[in-house]
């Protein structure tokens, strides 16, 4: 299967380089442009699946590029566009959303969130191409309960409860749990295993849209309701009529919107911004939050009446550290997924890798585990995943790094700068000092999100020394400035 094409449009070379490194690591084919006009020519010639588009460009604005991209390709073949900006302006956000941009991503870029956004966007685009009439109207493989891997007693009991909830007619459901536990997967399973499965499933992250736009996004607006409202637009409640609306990060809604949401939940009617009449809707609302909403209620940061309305059916997903029986089944699931994606034949974990993974606390939960296995699968060339390809954070369980020996002979030894000496081991097949140096420089740049000054600090070397090593290992163009 041919890799999806991503076009990166940004006038900052460092940003383009960082995005290229990540997108190629994730398995995408990458195109680059440093300005709007070249980007449009590339888009016409190469037909990218997705465009990462900076708002500020040297020739024409990103909004103008977006407008021309919409005109260039129509229907399902139109590329999805994610806007990138260091300084989001309300007018830009409104214009981009009106033209059809999927989302905004701020600088400095959170690559974990960007990866998830890209995957979800490409999945939706592929579904639209297969069913132009309604990409959300029918379930896709791996969307229901079969997409949720569980073996622990806690998750087995939870999934039994979730199945009962899916088949009931509850109009509001609240899912709580730490970031990365899979709240979105539970929400999708609840929809696609319910009687509403043939109706829309629409998701929105309440923290991703400015407060000034959120009301119109949820409830819609009439023509002329505000500047730039040149035509009537239905809100997400109307779009989800008969189906499910998933409100992720519900705790980030403003008090004003909390009050308006409560009215919709109670009466099942919405009123568009600038409108005079109520519109009846039939929507199941699934809300999710990684915050403790009961605590937020006690601290007057969330409406008590809205909390009790949402929590008629409450689901709590335990963190991965409290259900360690799920770790190895999840590892097997991700290895199988990435074997297919990366055309590899990794059979499992080495004993030491298994021990490190089981002893890690997984503060990032299932998402962190997924990213760990994906990274290892990209780099591993043997039949079993070795510790050398685990992120340092995973290897730091019990005070060890992923490269340490089980009982290092030099434990406690200090370097002249006062730091502990890293305790490394050499893989059975051997390696070279140059390979280790190459890996460390690459890892530092990844952890620093491409910022050379920060990467140099991580390695305890000067910025000039880092630049020399970047050129030496061809990790960055020789004329690149920070």
Instruction: Give start-end residues of each CATH 1.10.8.60 domain in the chain.
Output: 329-431
Query: Could you read off the pLDDT of 390-401 as tens digits, one per residue?
Result: 887 786 544 444
pLDDT bucket at 462, cuts 50 / 70 / 90: confident
Q: What is the pLDDT of residue 10?
A: 93
Query: Could you read off the pLDDT of 240-296 as tens digits, one per residue?
Result: 889 999 999 999 999 999 999 999 999 999 999 888 889 999 999 999 999 999 999
Q: Where are the alpha helices (DSSP H) in 236-350?
A: 236-239, 255-267, 293-298, 304-310, 327-342
Of the candidates 246, 247, 216, the residue with the CA atom closest to the CA atom of residue 234 = 216
pLDDT bucket at 412, cuts 50 / 70 / 90: very low
180: phi > 0 → left, psi -120 to 50 → alpha, else beta; which? left
Q: Of how many residues is the chain composed? A: 482
| CATH code matching the domain that covers 145-318, chosen among 3.30.460.80, 1.10.3210.10, 3.30.230.70, 3.40.50.300 | 3.40.50.300
Q: Which two tokens stand for residue 125?
A: 């685009």
Query: Could you read off the pLDDT of 36-90 as tens digits, one per residue?
Result: 999 999 998 888 999 999 988 999 999 999 988 888 766 567 888 998 887 656 5
Arithmetic mean of pLDDT, 141-147: 61
Instruction: Give start-end residues of each CATH 3.40.50.2300 domain in the chain.
Output: 5-130
Q: What is the pLDDT of residue 141?
A: 41
| 58-62, 90-94, 340-344, 346-350: segment of lowest average pLDDT | 90-94
Query: Could you read off the pLDDT of 358-403 as tens digits, one per residue?
Result: 999 999 899 899 989 988 998 888 999 998 888 877 865 444 443 4
Q: What is the pLDDT of residue 89?
A: 63
| CATH code matching the domain that covers 5-130, chosen among 3.90.700.10, 3.30.390.10, 3.90.470.20, 3.40.50.2300 | 3.40.50.2300
| Torsion, Cα of 464, 466, 472, 474 (10° steps) | -120
Instruction: Give start-end residues of each CATH 3.40.50.300 domain in the chain.
Output: 145-318
Whether the predicted model's global pTM rises above the 0.75 cut: no
Q: What are residue 220's DSSP bridge partners?
A: 234
Q: What is the pLDDT of residue 173?
A: 96
CATH number for the region 329-431 comes to 1.10.8.60
The answer to whether residue 114 scores a pLDDT higher than 50 is: yes
The answer to whether residue 29 scores a pLDDT higher than 70 is: yes
């Amino acid at each position: 299967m041919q890799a999806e094409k991503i076009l990166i449009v940004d006038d900052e070379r460092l940003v383009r380089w960082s995005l290229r490194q990540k997108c190629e690591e994730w398995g995408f084919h990458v195109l680059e442009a440093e300005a709007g006009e070249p980007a449009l020519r590339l888009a016409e010639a190469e037909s990218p699946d997705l465009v990462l588009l900076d708002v500020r460009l040297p020739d024409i604005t990103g909004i103008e590029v977006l407008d021309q991209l919409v005109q260039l390709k129509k229907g399902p073949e139109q590329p999805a566009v994610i806007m990138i900006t260091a300084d989001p302006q309300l007018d830009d956000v409104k214009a981009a959303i009106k033209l059809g941009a999927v989302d905004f991503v701020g600088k400095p870029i959170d690559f974990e969130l960007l990866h998830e956004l890209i995957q979800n966007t490409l999945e939706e685009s592929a579904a639209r191409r297969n069913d132009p009439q309604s990409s959300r109207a029918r379930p896709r493989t791996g969307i229901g309960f079969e997409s949720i891997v569980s073996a622990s007693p806690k998750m087995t009991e939870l999934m039994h409860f979730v199945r009962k909830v899916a088949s009931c007619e509850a109009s509001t459901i609240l899912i709580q749990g730490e970031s990365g536990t899979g709240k979105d997967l539970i929400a999708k399973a609840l929809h696609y295993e319910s009687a509403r499965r043939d109706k829309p499933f629409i998701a929105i992250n309440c923290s991703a849209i400015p407060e000034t736009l959120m009301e119109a996004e949820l409830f819609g607006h009439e023509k002329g309701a505000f500047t730039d409202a040149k035509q009537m637009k239905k809100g997400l409640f109307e779009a989800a009529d008969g189906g499910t609306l998933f409100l992720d990060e519900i705790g980030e809604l403003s008090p004003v919107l909390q009050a308006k949401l409560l009215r919709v939940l109670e009466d099942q009617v919405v009123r568009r911004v600038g409108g005079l009449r109520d519109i009846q809707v039939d929507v199941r609302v699934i809300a999710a939050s990684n915050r403790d909403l009961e605590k937020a209620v006690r601290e007057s940061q969330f409406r008590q009446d809205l909390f009790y309305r949402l929590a008629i059916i409450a689901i709590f997903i335990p963190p991965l550290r409290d259900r360690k029986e799920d770790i190895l089944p999840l590892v097997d699931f991700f290895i199988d997924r990435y074997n297919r994606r990366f055309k590899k034949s990794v059979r499992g974990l080495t004993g030491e890798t298994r021990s490190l993974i089981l002893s890690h606390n997984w503060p990032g939960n299932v998402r962190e585990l997924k990213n760990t296995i994906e990274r290892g699968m990209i780099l591993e060339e043997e039949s079993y995943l070795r510790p050398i390809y685990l992120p340092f954070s995973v290897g730091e369980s019990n005070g060890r790094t992923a490269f340490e020996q089980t009982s290092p002979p030099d434990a406690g030894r200090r370097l002249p700068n006062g730091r502990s000496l890293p305790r490394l081991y050499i893989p059975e097949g051997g390696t070279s000092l140059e390979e280790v140096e190459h890996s460390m420089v690459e890892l530092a740049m990844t952890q620093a999100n491409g910022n050379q000054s920060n990467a140099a600090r991580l390695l305890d070397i000067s910025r000039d020394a880092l630049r020399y090593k970047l050129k030496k290992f061809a990790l960055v163009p020789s004329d690149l400035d920070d």
